[in-house]
Structure formats: structure tokens, C-alpha cells
Structure 1
Amino acid sequence: MYRVSDNWERLVRAALRRELGHGHEKTSSGIAGAVPASLVRSTNIDAILQAADEIQDEDPNVARILCEQAYSMAQNLDPSSDGRGVLQFKTGLMSVIKQKLAKRDGARIDRNRDIEHLWEFYQRYKTRYRVDDIQREGQKFRESGNFATANLGEFDLRSLEMKKVFATLRALVEVMEALSKDADPHGVGRYIMEELQRIKSVGELATYNIVPLEAPSLTNAIGVFPEVRGAISAIRYAEHYPRFPAGFKISGEREVDMFDLLEYVFGFQNDNVRNQRENIILSIANAQSRLGLPIQEDPKIDEKAINEVFLKVLDNYIKWCKYLRKRLAWNSIEAINRDRKIFMVSLYFLIWGEAANVRFLPECICYIFHQMAKELDAILDHGEANRATSCITESDSVSFLEKIICPIYKTIVAMSLPPSNSFPKVDVNQEAESNNNGKAAHSAWRNYDDFNEYFWSPTCFDLGWPMKEDSSFLFKPKKSKRVGW
């Protein structure tokens, strides 16, 4: 194991390299930095405008195409400009587009050729930055296992530059995909569709937060730290786990792991799965780094690190079971092996990550986890991967959000809490009607604490699993008649 001082020096060097790289990057400026929050939440308009800013000097015409597409996206999303700052943003963006057109000195623009021009620029851009070559070099670097400090520093700086290049490529691809719908299917439209299929199949432009797990094109310092590589190996799918159906596939070039089973079984959203995959890897890696860094060629995570993460993440659940005198979803910590501990922590992270406002009911989360952990435990004992009964929808697919979170969320909203943009719309007048504009007695309506208190009593298990639709907990009040003001 390395000494603590060695670990500290290694982290400082990586941080300094990042700071050095960030010094050359541009921050969002002008119209790219003024996209309203209501548009950013639903689209990549800000990224498209940032890409337009990056390539303005290289090809003003392509920058104009990106800006016009960003305007179309904003118009489609909020045609009446109701959102805060949307009208000002559209006005400013239209002004930018007019300025770009004015700089052409009256030269005619044939918008019918925009898609062809965009495709040609995309190919030139990839060639200019040697994207394919750098991908191959990064792959060789990872396969070599030679992660010396000098080599790591060189690739870390290069990856910072490539991250910016790939952000521009993602914006170009998104605009090409939108415009290709009207392109000649036997000409440039076919080439674009083939390129889009290739990108999706290999995960070439996949986004990531810290560790590029689904972005094999990029290599960074964090991704090759021994404790991170050990954590990635710890969640890898083993032969003794349940078998996936014959047609099961994953996107990108990464190996199948535990999160693929959890997504398949419970129907968690893909973005949530990606985020929590990174979360568990970094949690395990951090726990391992406190114990010492593995020095093996194929790094392994200590059992103590797994136990630390397991007990820390599930501490509230364990205390909740003890308070209610309920047996845990597993017999004892000694009886559950390290693989199942990682499965359980991963499941808890996924539940929490997709729970939205329900996460403000921590004991409700404990109840959901308790039931789903028992389901998962049974599924892991089978040879075949089966869908969880609790998450099967009417269309015979699986969706944790639809079957578990939405019923609870709708009940909360109906009993006086305001709706969230993340979920299906509920009549906002229900809030005023249920609490009589704030004048009703507290006993007539419920808040978060009232909902959560339900799960501090053993009677919460009357809710059943899958949850009973006629349960008193999911009761929604009838609409009251307004007789006056």
C-alpha cells in the first residue's frame, strides 16, 4: 500500500493539471451564458450555443446554423415565451443571428444546403482534431496498464482539450440529427443516420460527470487511479449472477455490470443509472483510499471498504428496522457477501436518485428500499433475470418512477403540496381546495412530516407490496365545492 503522503501528492498533482487545463478553456459568454433555466432543464440549447461560439472563427456559416437551430428549439419548447427570461433570450438570440447574416455582406444563403454544409464541417472537425487517432491512443494507453505519472499527466492534459472537442461534436451531432429528418435519405441523410447509429452503438460521445465510464474515447487521471479501477472491477457482472435474456444489449463499449441488472429488473431511468454508477464507484474508491491504495496490477477493493460504504449508506434503514422491530432484508451483515452488499447500496442510491420530492420522506424511502431489497434478493437467487413484479406497468414494461414514485407523489400533491416539474401535472387548484387557502385546520390536510410519520409505525406495512391502490395512505380527498370567497 502507498503511504498517505504519496496519495496526497498524487491528488494534488492531478488537481494542478486540471487547473492548468481549465485556464485555457472558455467560459460560457454572451448569449450562450444567458439561456433561461426553463430551457436548460429540457434541452441542450446552452451547449449548442457554446459550440457555435467555439467554431465562429472557423466557420461562421455553421455557427449560424447552430444558432438558428437553438432558436427553433426555444420556440418549440416555449412558443408563447411564458417562461422567465425566455422572451429576452429569444430577442437576443435573433439579434445574434441577424448579425451573423449581416456579416455575409449580402451573400445569398441556401438553407436547403445547411445539412450538407454541417455534415462536411463535422467530418473536417473530426479530422482536424485527430479524434479517431486519439481514441485509439487512449484505448492503447488503458490496455497497456502503464499509468506512470509522466504518461498520466500527458493524457490528462490531452483529455481536457478533447473534452471540449467532444462537447462541440455532441452539439453538432444533435443539430445534424434534427436537420437530417428533412435530408435526402439516399444522400447525406443516409450518411448521417449511419454515423448516428455508429455513435450510439459505441457510446463515443456519451456524457459523464467525473469518471468517463461510458465515454471510452476519453482518458483522464481519475479514471486510471488504482482505487477507481478497483471499484469499477467490484461492480462488474459475474458469471454466477442471473442471466440476461438472449437479446439483451448495452450501449457503448463498457462491460456489463450490476447496474445493468438493476435497470433491467426495476426499470430505473438511464440517466439516473449513469449518475449512480459513478456515485457508487467514487464512494467505494474514496473508502479504499482511506485504507490505502491497492498496488496490484489488477487492483482489488478491501472488504473493509465495502463494509464502510454499506453501513454508512444504509445506516438509517438499519435503524428504522430496529425501531420497528422488523427483520432486515438480509439475515445479518455476516450472512451477506460483498457482492450483495454492493447490490444493496446500488439499489438504495438508485431509489434515492429517482425519488424526487419523495426523498424528503426518508422513512418512506426506507420502506421502499426494504421491499425492493427483498425482491432483489429473490431475483439474485434465480438463474434468470426476471422483471420485478412491483414495477411492471400496464404496457408490460417496467418503470420504478411510474409504479412506485408517482402514486406516492400524486397523493402528496393532492393533500396540499405543490407539484414539481419533474412529474405529470396535477390540478394546482387542489392545493387551495384541500387547505382552504391556508385557513383549514391542520387535521384536514397533511404535510411532509405527516406523510413520513406514517412510516414510523408498523401499520405502514399494511400498504403492501406491490402497493395497494386502495390503501388509506394513497387516499386522495374528493374535490370540495366552492360556495363563495
Structure 2
Amino acid sequence: MGTEANWERLVRAALRRERLGAGAHGQPVSGIAGNVPSSLANNLHIDEILRAADEILEEDANVSRILCEHAYSLAQNLDPNSEGRGVLQFKTGLMSVIKQKLAKREGGAIDRSQDIARLQEFYKRYREKNKVDELCEDEMKLRESGVFSGNLGELERKTLKRKKVFATLKVLGTVVEDLTREISPDQAERLISEEMKRVMQADAAMSEDVVPYNIIPLDAPSLTNVITSFPEVKAAVSSLKYYRGLPKLPDDFFIPAARKPDMLDLLQYVFGFQKDNVSNQREHIILLLANAQSRLGSISGNDPKLDEGAVHIVFSKCLDNYIKWCGYLPLRPVWNNLESGGKEKKLLYICLYFLIWGEASNIRFLPECLCYIFHHMARELEEILRGQIAEPANSCKSESGVSFLDQVISPLYDVIAAEAANNDNGQAAHSAWRNYDDFNEYFWSLQCFQLGWPWRLGSPFFLKPVRRAKVCTCW
């Protein structure tokens, strides 16, 4: 009730300001940024758009209106029936803001091409006003000079300004990109020049505060995080780069401007791993390699190189269970002669294993099943590496696209979940349902290869149990 009451007060306040024509301090405000309901799955993006709309309202009310309208459209698409908690109140408040505070005419047709043109024009003016090209340079000079040591407030002010400006630019660029999908490709090409696209992409890459990362900012340049300057980290990043001999990625495969293509980009394209999983595992692997290198000894130079020993340490640890699994079955590992492939091939296998693990969900409780999956995906990868152009793996392809999660993990998860739901809350006899150990034990014999690759979903292994009827005991 507390949340609903807050939303009711918000809407009433918005309507009251609508009648008065000003905010509490006499300034036009939207009064709704930061109050996006958590029930909207994309609430963070909507909130960013509304914050940008607040930021630029005094500079250009029309552009602010366009942003608010787009935020409303996103909310409408995410929850068209306003079923989520607080969504109806949020939409009501936002629409009142759009109608009154931003002077949207009732029943007026929305001309997307005109909106895109306005956004682009404002984008250019905003860049010029805030001297975007000088922002990073000034901050870097201040850091390198050491002058800021006696005036940390000046450095903080410059840093905050840069982050705010680039965050606003990123929102403007994202909304332009979204709106172009609502018009024909020919119109979009006429409205947005290639030069403008490059400028927006470069600006977006500079938004380090809106590009999530855990420890190492790899997808955006950082002026504040010194970890990227450590030689071990530099060497680890360099070791994963796209080396000669790897199949070429499609031209439209997106790579952030702040970094170069690497092995994980190839694996993401081939197997359809999720973007955030790839980002997380990229950091994870780089830290593992850097830590292994630091234990072997320090490295130096302008272009530090990772020792073979550091790669072998990480490789041996992460694939130790797979090697033991192959020895037990017995089965020859996917590599014939690993030493002939060098550290690049070892790194590819490391990346593949961690990407599998990152999306395996509860299948992580079936370690030998992960060995089976890795074995077949590594074999698929070997075939793809023989080509000049990267191709999606057959095991992860479907009519709707390429997805490791959907095609490999979900079938396993679904049958395990069905068995767990049929265990009578843990009271059923062990012989009446399959638990994690039962599933995993299946992969301790060569019989598991009857499941094939891609999965033979008609196999008895994937059969879901008939739901057990619950017995009601009445006293």
C-alpha cells in the first residue's frame, strides 16, 4: 500500500503542477524521472531517458517531449495492459506531463522523421555547447599534471560533468536509433548521415558510467580506473585478441569502439551466447590470466606478452574435470595435439568453457554433463575454424536465431525442473523421480553419446514425467 500511495501522491502532484504551470521552485519539471516502477522489465532504460528529458527541458522542450513520448512508448510496449504494480499510475503521471508541461497537442499526429531531425540537430548543439571533444582531454591533462592533488573538487567536477554529458548523449543516440526503426530504411538513410552515426557511436563508447562492468572497464575507455594500465592486465587483454587464422566476423557484428575484436566475440556469434554473459566472462578470464601471470613473475614493456605458463595454469585448472572425464570413459579429448595449437587454441577452449558455464544455470550441478556439452561444442568449433567466414553453430540455431541458452541449456533445465516438481516436496521415493545425481550419473558412461549433438530431444532422457496427483488427507 505504501508504494501505491506514493504513486497516487506523485500523480496528484503532477496534475497539480499541470494546473499551476510550474514546479515547486517555479521551474518546469517532469516530476517523474527516478520513479519508474520496478515491474517494468526495462525500467533502467526508461529512467535514463526521463532523466535526460529533465536535464534538457530548459534547453529544448520539444526534444524533451520526444524523449518522454519514447519513454511512454517503451512502457506501453512492456506492459500494454498496465498490469504491473504502479504501471498505471506511472503512465498516467507521465502522460499528464507530456500533454501539459511539454505542450503536446491532443490528437496531433506524430511525425517520426521530424522527431529524428530535431533530435539530431539538438545532439549537435548539445555537443558544441558542452565542448565534448575537449571534455576528456581537459580531464586527462588535469590528472596527468598532478595539479588536482590540491584541488580534488575541480577534478571531481570535471569528471561528473563529463559523465553527465556523455550519458545524455548516449540517451539521445539510443532514442534516435530506436525511432529510425519506425520509419523506412530509405528515410533513415536520408535522415542520418554516416558521419553522424560514427559520431554517435564514438560518443556512446565514451560513456563508461553507463557501460556496466565489474572490475575492468573493457567496453568503454576509462580515465579513472588504473587497473587497465597494469602490464599483466594489458597482456591478458592482448592475448585474447582476434588472431590471424580465425574466421572473419560479419561486418554488421557490433564491437564497441573502445576495444578490438577478440575470441569471445567469435564465440558469441557462433554459439549465440548472451551479451552480458560474454562481458562477464571476458573480465573473469582476463583476471584469471593476469593473476596467473603475476604469480609467475612481473612483465614489462610497452607491449607486454603473457607467458605460455600462465595460459597453461588457467587451462589446466578450468578443464581439469573435462580431462579426467575423458580419461574415465575412456575418450580422446577434443584436441589431438594441444601443443601444436599453441596458447591461442588453449585460450579458445578456456573462453568456450567459461561461456558455457556462465549460462548453464542449474546444469552447473551436472559437471559431467557440462563436459559432454563442452566436448561437442569444441568439436563444432574446430569445424567452424576451418572456414574463412564465421558461421552459426548448428547446435544453437533455430528459426528465431542463434541461442545457446534456448537450444542447449533449456531442454535440460526443463526436464530437470519437471522431475523436481514431481518429487512430492521431497517425500517421493528416490526410485520415483530423477534427481541431479541421477542425471549426472548418465554422463559417466559412453551411453550418454546416444543423446547425440544437437540434442536428440526424442530420447527417453528428455521425457518429462507424468505429473503426480496430490493426495489430500482429510481428518
**Bigger Rg over Cα:** 2
**1:168/1:388 CA distance change after superposition, 3 Å:** closer
Measured after TM superposition, the shift of residue 48 of structure 1 is: 1.9
Structure 2 counterpart of 1:471 = 459
Q: In the TM superposition, what are the counterparts of 1:200-349 in structure 2 within 5 Å? A: 204-205=204-205, 207-209=211-213, 210-215=215-220, 221-239=226-244, 241-244=245-248, 251-253=255-257, 254-322=259-327, 324-330=329-335, 337-349=342-354
Is the CA contact 1:204–1:216 (under 8 Å) kept in the aligned structure 2? no
Aligned partner of residue 397 in structure 2, secondary structure: coil
Residue 259 of structure 1: CA displacement? Answer: 2.1
Counterparts in 2 of 1:299 and 1:415: CA distance versus 1, 3 Å: same
Closer, same or farther: CA 53–308 of 1 in aligned 2, 3 Å = farther
Who is 2:26 aligned against? none
8 Å CA contact 2:41, 2:78 repeated in 1? no
Structure 1 residue 350, shift from structure 2 partner: 1.4
Q: Is the contact between residue 367 and residue 440 of structure 2 (CA under 8 Å) also seen in structure 1?
A: yes
402-411 or 285-294, which deviates more: 285-294
Change (3 A) 1:385 1:95: closer
Go from structure 1 to structure 2 and tell me whether the alpha carbon gap of 1:181 and 1:395 turns closer, same or farther (over 3 Å shift).
closer
CA–CA separation in structure 1 for the residues paired with 2:392 and 2:101: 59
* CA offset digits 1:100-152 (Å, max 9, x no partner): 76557x897976565554333322222233334557x59xx9xxxxx979599
Distance 1:243 1:181 in 2: 30
Which residue in the other structure is 1:46 paired with?
47
The CA distance in 1 between the partners of 2:341 and 2:83, in whole Å, is 54
Distance 1:471 1:41, change over 3 A: farther
Say whether the 8 Å CA contact 2:173–2:200 is kept in structure 1.
no
For 2:375 and 2:450, the matched residues in 1 are separated by: 14
Shift of 1:437: 8.2
Task: Give the distance between the partners of 2:170 and 2:227, measured in 1 at CA.
Answer: 23
Residues 314-338 of structure 1: per-residue CA shift (max 9 Å, x gap): 3443444455554433368766632
Distance 1:73 1:265, change over 3 A: closer
| 1:276-323 per-position Cα deviation (integer Å, ceiling 9, x unaligned) | 333322332333344454221111122332233223333443444455
Letter in 2 for 1:39: L
Structure 1 match to 2:77: 76
Q: Which residue of 1 aligns with 2:89?
A: 91
> Does 1:462 pair with 2:450?
yes
Q: Percent identity?
A: 49
When residues 179 and 321 of structure 1 are mapped into structure 2, their CA distance, relative to the original with a 3 A threshold, is: same
Whether the 8 Å CA contact 2:72–2:94 is kept in 1: the answer is no
- Could you tell me which of 386, 406, 409 is aligned with 1:405? 409
**TM-superposed deviation, 1:167:** 2.6
**TM-fit CA distance, 1:212:** 4.6
Are 1:191 and 2:191 matched, yes or no? yes
Kindly state the Cα deviation for residue 171 of structure 1 after the two structures are TM-superposed.
1.9
- Contact persistence 1:116–1:188 (CA under 8 A): no
Which residue is 1:415 aligned to? 419
Q: Tell me the distance in 2 between the aligned counterparts of 1:188 and 1:377.
A: 40
Which structure is higher in RCO with an 8 Å CA cutoff and minimum separation 6?
1
**CA distance in 2 between partners of 1:41 and 1:312 (Å):** 38
Which consecutive unaligned segments of at least 5 residues does structure 2 have? Answer: 1-30
Distance of aligned partners of 1:394 and 1:91 in 2 relative to their CA distance in 1, 3 Å threshold: closer
**TM-superposed deviation, 1:349:** 1.6
Distance 2:250 2:175 in 1: 34
The 1:413/1:102 distance shift into structure 2, 3 A limit, reads: same
After TM superposition, the score normalised by the length of structure 1 is 0.70
Q: Counterpart in 1 of 2:167?
A: 167
Work out whether 1:353 is the aligned partner of 2:358: yes
Cα gap change, 1:125 to 1:278, in 2 (>3 Å): farther
Q: Secondary structure at the match of 1:44?
A: helix
1:233 partner letter: S
Change (3 A) 1:328 1:52: same
> How many Å separate the matches in 2 of 1:184 and 1:259?
33
